[in-house]
Amino acid sequence: MSKELTAFERSDGRWGLRNHVLILPLHSAFSATARKIADESNGAVAVSHDWSGEIDADFDRIVKTISGFAANPNNFATIFITIGTPNELGIIELARKLGLSKAEVLNVAELGSMGKIAEIGLQMANSLLKEAKAVSRISAPWSAIKLGQECGGSDALSGITANPALGVASDRLVELGSSSVLGETTEILGAEHLLAARAITPEIGAQIVETVARYERSINYEGIDMRGAQPSRGNIEGGLTTLEEKSLGAAKKAGSAQFSGVFEFADQVTKPGLYFMDTPGHDTEQLTGYGAGGINIIVFTTGRGTPTGSAIVPTIKVATNTTMADAIPDLIDLNAGTIADGLKTLNDVGGELFDLILEVANGQLTKAEKGLHHEFSLSRMYNTIIR
């Protein structure tokens, strides 16, 4: 019998697996101040980015990412640092609409100096942290878990150890009523026909195929030869030969459940079931997009040992091979290399991962959380015209 799941219930009925106070600059120039406030506080987290309010072809994508990340249910509160432009204030409004109940604002135009922002921000953060501490976890339904699947630094064992082990855990969660999301369009290119065949309707299958086709059209338009980037040099050294091979292995993360739908980048994940989300292959952009879509826990399989984590979404690292797991124990939460060593079966490790997901959901810190791996990147489709 599995242990009980506990979580923080938000006022709009969403569930958080963490209770963060996030300091979020709405302009790149406030990044250092955001970090200073977080560092000096009693446990707030901060992210920084390079967006400075440009209005370009990626504007909607950036607004969606920042507002969604601010509103992630793992945040008890978000403190925005803003110059007060209509675009920036629009992001705060959008975050409120997405369910962020505690949105605090540090307006640089009103407060003036960065010193004053840091001082008031610190008081604000510590007071919110005190409030957050007073909130307790309560028993939560399985639908509270919104799992994001990710792989980075794949090797030839990814597709036979860590990825299929995640597939076992994902299948179990989906059966219990959780949400589970496969992403990284680049990395299913070549395997989309297999995933489409597992869609609950032919329309959803066609959507999966079209999402990949749209991506292929965009790279052909740019004149980019994907063979230069995928598989990456590291993948090739690890033994992966073609993009199709990497994709077949990457798709093993989604187990064998049926696909209930397709999401655009950073869409809100609200319903139970297995989904595909159109996200980039870049680890940090993808993790950020998951956070913006309300995903509250991530399993990240890695063959080469990637430190990447999120300020607000606990990220469980699963090693594909024992050599790497033993070399960097400070980054790896679970070693699936034991499958290739002939020591454990896929079901053994899938079961261990399921148990670990539950422990982490209930509050156990991941290695990435302990190491403060708080990466954040905005995903862009086009070049920024103002730069």
Partner 1 sequence: MRKVLVLNEKDNIAVCLVEMAIGEVIGQDGLNLTIQSLIPRGHKVATSPIAKNEGIIKYGERMGHATTDIKVGEHVHTHNVLGDRLSTEQVV
Residues that bind partner 1 (CB under 8 A): 155-157, 159-160, 189-191, 194, 216, 220, 225-227, 236, 238-239, 241-245, 248-249, 321, 340-342
**In this structure, what are the phi and psi dihedrals at residue 256, rounded to the nearest 5 degrees?**
-125, 10
**In this structure, what are the phi and psi dihedrals at residue 296, rounded to the nearest 5 degrees?**
-115, 0
Between 67 and 321, CB nearer to partner 1: 321
Rounded to a whole number of angstroms, the minimum distance from the CB of residue 165 to partner 1 is: 14
Between 1 and 221, CB nearer to partner 1: 221
Rounded to a whole number of angstroms, the minimum distance from the CB of residue 239 to partner 1 is: 4
Report d(CA 209, CA 254) in Å as an integer: 16
Rounded to a whole number of angstroms, the minimum distance from the CB of residue 197 to partner 1 is: 12
Question: Cα–Cα distances in Å, from 53 out to 59, 357, 378?
Answer: 8, 37, 13
User: Closest Cα to residue 149, out of 307, 5, 365, 353?
Assistant: 353
Report d(CA 10, CA 270) in Å as an integer: 14
Report d(CA 360, CA 368) in Å as an integer: 12
Rounded to a whole number of angstroms, the minimum distance from the CB of residue 141 to partner 1 is: 35
Report CA 163 to chain centroid distance, whole Å. Answer: 17
Between 227 and 387, CB nearer to partner 1: 227
Between 19 and 321, CB nearer to partner 1: 321
Report d(CA 35, CA 192) in Å as an integer: 40
User: Closest Cα to residue 318, out of 287, 360, 349, 361?
Assistant: 349
Rounded to a whole number of angstroms, the minimum distance from the CB of residue 163 to partner 1 is: 11
Between 135 and 213, CB nearer to partner 1: 213
Between 234 and 307, CB nearer to partner 1: 234
User: Closest Cα to residue 160, out of 343, 345, 304, 357?
Assistant: 345
Question: Cα–Cα distances in Å, from 142 out to 17, 38, 176, 292, 359?
Answer: 12, 32, 6, 20, 13
Between 207 and 320, CB nearer to partner 1: 320
Rounded to a whole number of angstroms, the minimum distance from the CB of residue 134 to partner 1 is: 50
Rounded to a whole number of angstroms, the minimum distance from the CB of residue 238 to partner 1 is: 5
Q: At residue 233, what is the residue type?
A: R
